[in-house]
A and B are shown apart, each in its own frame.
Chain A
C-alpha cells in the first residue's frame, strides 16, 4: 500500500485506531517517501511504539519488533546458528560426509528480527524499540544495517534487502544517540497531545465511554502533567485510567473515585503522595470546569 499525501496516511492511521497529530503523520509520510528510518523521541507514554504498530496496520504490512536492552547482541538481534541441531546433524551423518558449507547453511540459521526484516519479500515495518537502552557498540552495528539495508553473515555471504523495510526507531532519551545514527534518520519529537486530541484518543480507545467522563479524565491528567512529578502520566495512562473509570460505571469524576483509581495514573509512591487533599480537589475542580 502506498500513500500519495499526508492526508491519505493520516486517514489510514485513524483507520488503525491511532490519532496522530500533523507532525507525526508528516514524519511517517516522509519516512516512507524518502525511504529513511524515522527516530521518534518523547516522554514515556506518548505513543511512540503505538505509532509504529499503527503504521504497520495502515500499510497492511508485517510488524517486526526488536526490543532493545543493555547487552543486546548480534545473536539476539540478527541471527544465531542452531548449535544443538548442528551437532546432532554431524553425529547422525556418516563420519566425514558433512561439509562446513552444509553445516553453516540456511537450514541451521535462526533468524532474529533484523535479519527477518531485511530478508523478507513482503512489506515490513521494522520497529527498533528503545534503542537508547542498547549499548553504543550495538548502535554502531545498527548504523551499518540501516545505511545499506544489508547484513553480512560470514558463512553465508551478504544478504541485501529486496524490499526496504519501513524503519521506526524509538528512544526515551536515557542517553543521547550517536550523531552518525541520527544523521541516517528523520527526527520527530512527540509531545503530549492537545486536550481536544487526547479526549478524542480516549473516546476512540475506550468505546462507549461517556463524553463528559472522557473530557474530565483527559483534563485531569493534563493538570497532573503541570505538577512537578517524578513520572508525569502519558497518554497510555490516560487510556488505562479512563478504562477503569468507565468500568466502574462513572459519568463524572469526584474526589472519592479519583483517590481509589489514582494508582493507574501515577506509578510512584512519591507522586501519589504529592497529589493529595487540596491539590487533588483543586485538580478535579479545574478538570470539571475545563470539561464543561
Chain B
C-alpha cells in the first residue's frame, strides 16, 4: 500500500516539474521510484537527492527543482514558480502580438521567376538598410537569411575516413588487402581528415540604438542555431543573457522580446565591457570561446570604461580562433570608429564588417566560411 502511494506521489511531482519547465520523461520517473526503493525514506536529505539526481539533468534546472521540491514536499510558499511561468507567458504573448501585427492578410507567394522587374527589386532589397524596411520586406529578407546561415566556418576534425587522396595509410584495410598478396601491401589504401563545423559564438547588442539591426541578426542567428551544428548566441545590453535555448525552440521574435527584457535595464546605457567580462568569466571559463569564431554585433556606443573593453577583448581574442566585429554603422561610408569603446576593441578584432543590410550579411557569411586566424596566437 505504501508503495503505490509513493508511486502516485512521484508521478504527480514529475508533473509539477514539467509545469515549471523541467523536461521529465517516464524513464526518469521510473528511475526515481526505483531509487526511492533503495534509500531510507525517513531521511529527507536522501529523498531530496534521490529525486534530484534522477529527475534533473542540468545544472541550470537545479534552482527550479529546489523551489518545486520545497513547495511540493515541504509545503513552502509557491510564489517564485508562478513568477517564472508568467514571464514565459509574457514572452509568448509578445511573440503573438508582434507576429500578428507584422503580417498582412494572406501574404502573397514569393514569385518563383523574378524576371527583370522582380530581380532588380530583389537587388534593391539586398542593399536596403534593415532600419528602413517595411515589415513585409523584412519578411521576405528573412527567408534569404536561412540560406546564408548554412555557410559556416569549418575546422579539420581529428577523425579520418577513407579517401584515395588521403595523407595517411588506412592500415586496417591495408592488412585485409595484403592477405591476398602474402603480406605485401600491393594496393595502398589511404585515409584523410574530414572537416567539421567550427564553433560559432555570437554576442549581439540588443540595446535601443541597435533595435532594427539586432532584430535582423537575430533571425540570422535563429537560422544558424536551427542548423544544429553548434552555434551559440548571447544577447547583451546592460547584462548578458544566453539565447541559444530560446533560439533553438521558439520563434526568433519571442526570443528577441525575452532577450530585450532580460538584458536591458531601461534608461541605462549599453555596457559592452562588463558584458564581455561576464562572458569571459562565466562561459570563457567553460572554454566556450576556445577555438571558436566569436562574432560581436554592436555599434560600439557604450558607457563602460574603454580600458575595460580593451582588457576583456584581449582575453577573448586569446581564447578564440578569430574575432569578428559587425557594426551596422560601418555601412555608412562616412563612418569612422571614433567611439571610445570601438577604438579600444579594434586592435583585437580580426575582421571588422558592416551588418546593416542583406548584402553585408552575405559578406559576413562568406567571411565566416573562409576565415583564417590573423592575430598572433
List residues of chain A with CB under 8 Å of any chain B CB. 5-6, 22-23, 26-27, 29-30, 33-34, 36, 38-39, 41, 70-71, 73, 81, 83, 86-88, 90-91, 95-96, 98, 100, 103-104, 135-137, 172-176, 179, 182-183, 185-189, 228, 230-231
Say how far A9's CB is from chain B's closest CB, in angstroms: 11
In the complex with contacts A33-B38, A174-B286, A91-B182 CB distance below 8 A: yes
Contact A22 B46 (CB under 8 A): yes
Best-buried of A5, A135, A187, A189 by chain B (most CB within 10 Å): A187
User: Complex: how many Å from CA A27 to CA B45?
Assistant: 12
Residues of A within 8 A of B83 (CB): none
In the complex with contacts A86-B175, A183-B28, A228-B182 CB distance below 8 A: no
Contact A183 B50 (CB under 8 A): no
User: Complex: how many Å from CA A36 to CA B178?
Assistant: 43
Residues of B within 8 A of A95 (CB): 182
Q: Decide yes or no whether B146 CB sits under 8 A from chain A.
A: no
Residues of B within 8 A of A27 (CB): 49, 53
From the candidates A100, A175, A187, A189, name the one contacting B288 in the complex (CB within 8 A): A175
Closest partner residue, chain A, to B175 (CB atom): A86
Q: Decide yes or no whether B62 CB sits under 8 A from chain A.
A: yes
Q: Decide yes or no whether B103 CB sits under 8 A from chain A.
A: no
Contact A34 B286 (CB under 8 A): no
Interface residues of B in 7-23 (CB under 8 A from A): 23
Q: Decide yes or no whether B75 CB sits under 8 A from chain A.
A: no
User: Complex: how many Å from CA A173 to CA B183?
Assistant: 47
From the candidates A34, A86, A175, A183, name the one contacting B57 in the complex (CB within 8 A): A183
User: Complex: how many Å from CA A38 to CA B57?
Assistant: 10
Closest partner residue, chain B, to A92 (CB atom): B183
Say how far A83's CB is from chain B's closest CB, in angstroms: 4
Q: Decide yes or no whether B165 CB sits under 8 A from chain A.
A: no
Residues of B within 8 A of A228 (CB): 281
From the candidates A41, A86, A179, A186, name the one contacting B54 in the complex (CB within 8 A): A186
**What would 29 A/B residue contacts be, using CB atoms closer than 8 Å?**
A6-B46, A23-B52, A26-B39, A30-B39, A30-B54, A33-B34, A33-B35, A33-B38, A34-B35, A73-B158, A73-B159, A81-B172, A83-B174, A87-B183, A90-B178, A90-B182, A91-B182, A100-B176, A104-B176, A136-B230, A176-B58, A182-B57, A183-B28, A185-B57, A186-B53, A186-B54, A187-B56, A187-B58, A230-B281
User: Complex: how many Å from CA A39 to CA B57?
Assistant: 9
The list of the 4 closest CB pairs from A to B, nearest first, reads A71-B158, A90-B183, A91-B183, A182-B57
Say how far B358's CB is from chain A's closest CB, in angstroms: 31
Contact A98 B59 (CB under 8 A): no
In the complex with contacts A90-B183, A173-B286, A26-B50 CB distance below 8 A: yes
User: Complex: how many Å from CA A154 to CA B158?
Assistant: 22
List residues of chain B with CB under 8 Å of any chain A CB. 23, 25, 27-28, 31, 34-35, 38-40, 45-46, 49-50, 52-54, 56-59, 62, 157-159, 171-172, 174-176, 178-179, 182-183, 185, 196, 230, 280-281, 285-288, 290
Say how far B32's CB is from chain A's closest CB, in angstroms: 10
Contact A26 B49 (CB under 8 A): yes
Say how far B223's CB is from chain A's closest CB, in angstroms: 20
Residues of B within 8 A of A231 (CB): 285
User: Complex: how many Å from CA A236 to CA B228?
Assistant: 37
Say how far A231's CB is from chain B's closest CB, in angstroms: 7
Residues of A within 8 A of B53 (CB): 23, 26-27, 30, 38, 186-188
User: Complex: how many Å from CA A33 to CA B59?
Assistant: 23
User: Complex: how many Å from CA A172 to CA B288?
Assistant: 11
In the complex with contacts A26-B39, A90-B182, A189-B62, A172-B175 CB distance below 8 A: no
From the candidates B28, B35, B179, name the one contacting A90 in the complex (CB within 8 A): B179
From the candidates A70, A91, A179, A186, name the one contacting B31 in the complex (CB within 8 A): A186
Contact B281 A87 (CB under 8 A): no
Residues of A within 8 A of B56 (CB): 187
Say how far A145's CB is from chain B's closest CB, in angstroms: 17
Residues of B within 8 A of A90 (CB): 175, 178-179, 182-183
Best-buried of B39, B174, B183 by chain A (most CB within 10 Å): B183
User: Complex: how many Å from CA A32 to CA B159?
Assistant: 34
User: Complex: how many Å from CA A188 to CA B49?
Assistant: 9
Contact A22 B45 (CB under 8 A): yes
Say how far B141's CB is from chain A's closest CB, in angstroms: 31
Contact A230 B285 (CB under 8 A): yes
User: Complex: how many Å from CA A231 to CA B280?
Assistant: 11
Residues of B within 8 A of A182 (CB): 57-58
User: Complex: how many Å from CA A27 to CA B54?
Assistant: 9
Closest partner residue, chain A, to B232 (CB atom): A175
Say how far B115's CB is from chain A's closest CB, in angstroms: 44
Say how far A44's CB is from chain B's closest CB, in angstroms: 9
Residues of B within 8 A of A187 (CB): 53, 56-58
User: Complex: how many Å from CA A258 to CA B68?
Assistant: 44
